[in-house]
């Protein structure tokens, strides 16, 4: 069993508990009370490189990263630094996150919020929207093609923008066949947890220019932002570097400044 399989099994068990506690009708009622979802695409398609800054306590590969007693405060710092989107890990077993983190973040920022989790059902999309998310992560490796297409369509129908994550060329093809508008290339293989820093450079040419390309994992600072941009990235998603740093607001600002370099303008 791969690491991804183990995570999915645990996520399914936790999902059953939440489903027993909260009905789908209740979730839909909560979602109906939310403000309309924010659209991340205008920012992603503007000049320069957008930054998705992540609230992330732990990871399967590195264990505990940061305590993060105040996810809302961290998210506010990210937004003040210029982050275009705040990503919130809500998986509890391996990442030590919760939907309460997402709710807290939603209450204090006015930029799009991404639910990052192992989503395999429409119930989880309703959870995301009910908690105030504007975006939801869909991992191609975790879904068969019919489920991927169905969840992309369902997400859009409720106002969520799907970020479709890939790790290899076949997954890029599947994401495009499913109609993905935003594709995240994760340098970390979720089945083995190995990081291959050339993954984005290899896969980016397979993603058409009209699709937003997001570089995920392995971003250590402004230099990496520029290098990913040269390979075709429109957006970078940064987690570990930010939560381990002493000044998340300044760290995000440095990444945003790198992404605004004149050489990276007018890429659409």
The catalytic residue positions are 54, 56, 116, 165, 186, 216-217
Q: Tell me the HSE value of 215 on the side-chain side, using a 13 A CA sphere.
A: 30
Instruction: Report d(CA 255, CA 262) in Å as an integer.
Output: 14
Give the three-class secondary structure for 152: helix
- Residue whose C-alpha is closest to residue 169's, from 202, 141, 197: 202
Q: What does R_g of the chain's alpha carbons equal in angstroms? A: 17
Instruction: Report d(CA 140, CA 152) in Å as an integer.
Output: 11
What burial class does residue 108 get, using C-beta atoms within 10 Å of its C-beta: 0-12 exposed, 13-18 middle, 19+ buried? middle
Q: Which two tokens stand for residue 17?
A: 């508990």
Q: Tokens 């990081």 identify what position?
A: 195
Length of the chain counted residue by residue: 268
Instruction: Report d(CA 244, CA 74) in Å as an integer.
Output: 12
């Amino acid at each position: 069993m791969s690491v991804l399989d183990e995570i999915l099994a645990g996520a399914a068990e936790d999902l059953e508990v939440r489903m027993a506690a909260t009905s789908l009708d209740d979730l839909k009622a909560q979602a109906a009370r939310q403000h309309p979802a924010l659209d991340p695409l205008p920012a992603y398609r503007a000049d320069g490189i957008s930054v998705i800054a992540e609230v992330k306590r732990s990871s399967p590969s590195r264990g505990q990263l940061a305590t993060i007693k105040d996810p809302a405060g961290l998210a506010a710092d990210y937004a003040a630094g210029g982050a275009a989107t705040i990503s919130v890990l809500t998986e509890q077993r391996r990442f030590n996150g919760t939907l309460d983190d997402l709710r807290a973040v939603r209450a204090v920022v006015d930029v799009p919020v991404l639910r990052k989790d192992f989503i395999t059902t429409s119930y989880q999309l309703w959870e995301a929207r009910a908690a105030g998310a504007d975006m939801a992560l869909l991992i191609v490796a975790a879904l068969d093609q019919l489920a991927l297409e169905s969840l992309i369509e369902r997400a859009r129908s409720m106002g969520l923008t799907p970020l479709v994550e890939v790790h290899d060329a076949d997954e890029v093809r599947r994401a495009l066949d499913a109609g993905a508008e935003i594709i995240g290339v994760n340098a970390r293989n979720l089945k083995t947890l190995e990081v291959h820093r050339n993954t984005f450079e290899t896969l980016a040419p397979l993603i058409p220019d009209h699709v937003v390309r997001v570089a995920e994992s392995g971003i250590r600072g402004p230099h990496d932002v520029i290098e990913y941009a040269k390979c075709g990235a429109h957006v970078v998603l940064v987690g570990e570097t930010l939560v381990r740093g002493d000044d998340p607001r300044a760290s995000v600002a440095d990444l945003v400044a790198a992404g605004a370099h004149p050489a990276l303008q007018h890429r659409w």
